[in-house]
Structure 1
Amino acid sequence: MKKIGFLSFGHWRDVPGSQTRSAADSLLQTIELAEAAEELGVDGAFVRVHHFERQLASPFPLLAAIGARTRRIEIGTGVIDMRYENPLYMAEEAAAADLISGGRLQLGISRGSPETALRGAETFGYVADDAAEMARSKAEAFLAAIDGAPVARTDPGRTGGVSGHLAVQPQSPGLRDRIWWGAGSRATGQWAAKLGVHLQSSTLLTEDTGVPFDQLQAEQIRLFKAAWAEHGHERTPRVSVSRSVLPITEAIDELYFGAQGHDDQVGLLEGVRSRFGRTYVGEPDRIAAELAADEAVREADYVLFTVPNQLGVEYNARILGTIAAHVAPAIGWKPRNS
Structure 2
Amino acid sequence: MNSPLHSAAPSAPQLISVIAPCRNERAAIDAFCDSALAQQLPPGWQLEVLVADGRSDDGTRERLAERAAQDARLKLIDNPDRIVSTGLNAALAAARGAVIARFDIHTEFAPDYLAECLAALARTGADNVGGPWVARGQGATGRAIAAAFQCRWVVGGARSRDRAYEGEADTLYLGCWPRAVFERFGGFDEQLVRNQDDEHNLRLRLQGARLWQSARIRSVYQPRSRLSDLFRQQQQYGYWRPFVMRKHGQPGSVRQLVPALFVLALAGGALLAPWWPWPLGVLLASYALYLAGTSLAAARQAGEWGLLARLPLVIAAYHLGYGVGTWRGLTDLLLKRRAGQHWSRLTR
- The answer to whether TM tops 0.5 is no
Larger RCO, structure (CA 8 Å, separation 6 or more): 1
Relative to the length of structure 2, the TM-score reads 0.25
Name the structure with the higher strand share.
Answer: 1
Name the structure with the higher helix share.
Answer: 2
